[in-house]
């Protein structure tokens, strides 16, 4: 377990590359800070969804959120502007290999458990994984809004199509996520 914990320490110092490429100072946001934001957002979304009567496994949501960017401890944070130069298959293979490498020193049962969660998140085949993906985007938009309110410019591309995003959610989950994104967009417009 210690080896895995040491491995993921890199995420605390790893800058979110998209911000740096848009002129924000190094250290503006780390991958670990983003992962914390995603986990908190995912918890709030899941609790609200459950409160409105939809079944959702909040523990599973939290596990997915905590693991969603773990491979970046090995691959680094690849922004969308770089990802377009790689095929989906090659990026998926690289992230899978990196994730497995981070997990390599854990017991086989734990490694297998976390690997299944990684696959679930990547496949977006559950309400829990779709809520975490929505939380990933909501955290990104909240961070972009905060940067813009602090004077940052040139972040418009992060907002493009935000209100049209379809996370494959239904019912109350769709309403909650859509409402949150609309609220962020409205806050940006002032």
CA atoms within 13 A on the CB side of 7: 20
pLDDT for residue 53 is more than 90:
yes
Instruction: Report pLDDT digits (tens) over 137-165.
Output: 999 999 999 999 999 999 999 999 999 99
Instruction: Report pLDDT digits (tens) over 82-104.
Output: 888 999 999 999 999 999 999 99
Domain with 136, as residue range(s), is 2-189
pLDDT value of position 82:
87
Chain centroid, CA 180 distance in Å: 16
- Which stretch of DSSP H or E encloses residue 182? helix 171-189
Secondary structure percentages of the chain, helix, strand, coil, to 5: 70, 0, 30
What is the rounded average pLDDT of the residues 12-32?
Answer: 96
Cβ–Cβ < 8 Å for 79, 29: no
- Report the alpha-carbon distance of residue 110 to residue 107 in Å, rounded: 5
Residue 26, classified by CB atoms within 10 Å of its CB into exposed (0-12), middle (13-18) or buried (19+), is: exposed
> Shortest CA distance to 168 belongs to which of 158, 160, 178, 181?
178
The overall longest dimension of the chain from CA atoms, in Å, is 51
pLDDT for residue 79 is more than 90:
no
Domain count, the chain: 1
Task: Report the mean per-residue pLDDT for the chain.
Answer: 96
CATH number reported for the structural domain that contains residue 35 in this entry: 1.10.3210.10
pLDDT for residue 80 is more than 90:
no
Cβ–Cβ < 8 Å for 154, 35: no
What is the rounded average pLDDT of the residues 30-51?
Answer: 98
What is the rounded average pLDDT of the residues 26-46?
Answer: 98
pLDDT value of position 83:
86
- Which stretch of DSSP H or E encloses residue 62? helix 58-67
pLDDT value of position 12:
97
Instruction: Report pLDDT digits (tens) over 106-146.
Output: 999 999 999 999 999 999 999 999 999 999 999 999 999 99
* pLDDT bracket for residue 23 (50, 70, 90): very high
Residue 3, classified by CB atoms within 10 Å of its CB into exposed (0-12), middle (13-18) or buried (19+), is: exposed
Q: Which two tokens stand for residue 84?
A: 């377009």
Percent of the chain with pLDDT over 70: 100
Q: Considering the entire predicted model, what is its pTM?
A: 0.96
């Amino acid at each position: 377990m210690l080896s895995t914990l040491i491995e993921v320490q890199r995420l605390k110092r790893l800058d979110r590359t998209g911000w740096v490429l848009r002129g924000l100072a190094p250290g503006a946001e780390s991958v670990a800070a983003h992962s914390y934001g995603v986990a908190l957002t995912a918890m709030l979304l899941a609790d609200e969804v459950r409160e409105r009567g939809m079944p959702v496994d909040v523990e599973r949501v939290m596990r997915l959120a905590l693991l969603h960017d773990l491979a970046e401890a090995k691959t680094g944070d690849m922004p969308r502007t770089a990802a377009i130069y790689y095929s989906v298959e090659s990026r998926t293979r690289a992230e899978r290999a990196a994730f497995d490498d981070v997990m390599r020193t854990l017991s086989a049962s734990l490694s297998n458990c976390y690997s299944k969660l990684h696959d679930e998140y990547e496949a977006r085949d559950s309400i829990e994984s779709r809520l975490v993906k929505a939380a990933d985007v909501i955290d990104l938009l909240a961070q972009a809004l905060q940067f813009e309110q602090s004077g940052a410019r040139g972040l418009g591309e992060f907002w493009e199509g935000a209100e049209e995003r379809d996370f494959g959610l239904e019912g109350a989950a769709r309403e909650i996520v859509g409402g949150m994104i609309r609220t962020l967009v409205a806050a940006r417009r002032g």
